[in-house]
């Protein structure tokens, strides 16, 4: 088939919904990593939880990523819920983003556990469940303590 023949088929492909996005296989979706970076007092009684969301460059487009989190204390009591949003594309600048969850109830100590309730990636009109596909990984990270020597 010549290139001109392919061009004639494009309107038909668009009509039936065959696009590169719909052809994206679930196993081609990149793995997304999440890490808690820090918790800081932002101001006016608000604390800010900083998270990093990323993927490896060259792994493809992860699209619009939404992660719903629940924070619980050591006794299992819910302290807070929130969502993180990031757009992770296949570029040098789009492969990693730092996102924030800010709330008066976000002043949580290090004994707090973070539970991922839901994680999705949306590319075009197609939505992927990152948990079901095992495409969300935890990047365990512990900030270093900074000490001023006397």
The predicted structure's pLDDT at residue 121: 95
Indicate whether 95 pLDDT > 60.
yes
Mean pLDDT computed over every residue of the chain:
82
pLDDT digits 0-9 by tens, 53-73: 998 777 888 999 999 999 999
Domains and CATH numbers, the chain: 28-138 (2.60.40)
> What H or E segment, with its residue span, contains residue 35?
strand 32-43
- Tokens at 51, concatenated: 């998270």
pLDDT digits 0-9 by tens, 10-53: 444 444 444 444 445 666 899 999 999 999 998 888 999 999 99
Q: pTM, whole model, 2 decimals?
A: 0.77
The predicted structure's pLDDT at residue 149: 75
pLDDT band at 92 (very low <50, low <70, confident <90, very high): confident
The predicted structure's pLDDT at residue 25: 61
């Amino acid at each position: 088939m010549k290139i001109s023949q392919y061009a004639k088929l494009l309107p038909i492909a668009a009509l039936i919904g065959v696009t590169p996005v719909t052809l994206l296989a679930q196993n081609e979706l990149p793995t997304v990593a999440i890490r808690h970076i820090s918790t800081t007092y932002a101001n006016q009684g608000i604390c800010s939880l900083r998270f990093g969301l990323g993927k490896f460059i060259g792994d493809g487009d992860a699209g619009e990523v939404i992660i719903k989190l629940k924070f619980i204390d050591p006794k299992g009591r819910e302290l807070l819920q929130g969502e993180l949003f990031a757009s992770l594309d296949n570029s040098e600048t789009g492969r990693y983003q730092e996102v924030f969850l800010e709330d008066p109830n976000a002043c949580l100590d290090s004994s707090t556990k973070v539970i991922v309730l839901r994680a999705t990636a949306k590319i075009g009109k197609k939505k992927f469940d990152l948990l079901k596909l095992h495409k969300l990984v935890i990047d365990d990270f512990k900030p270093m303590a900074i000490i001023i020597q006397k």
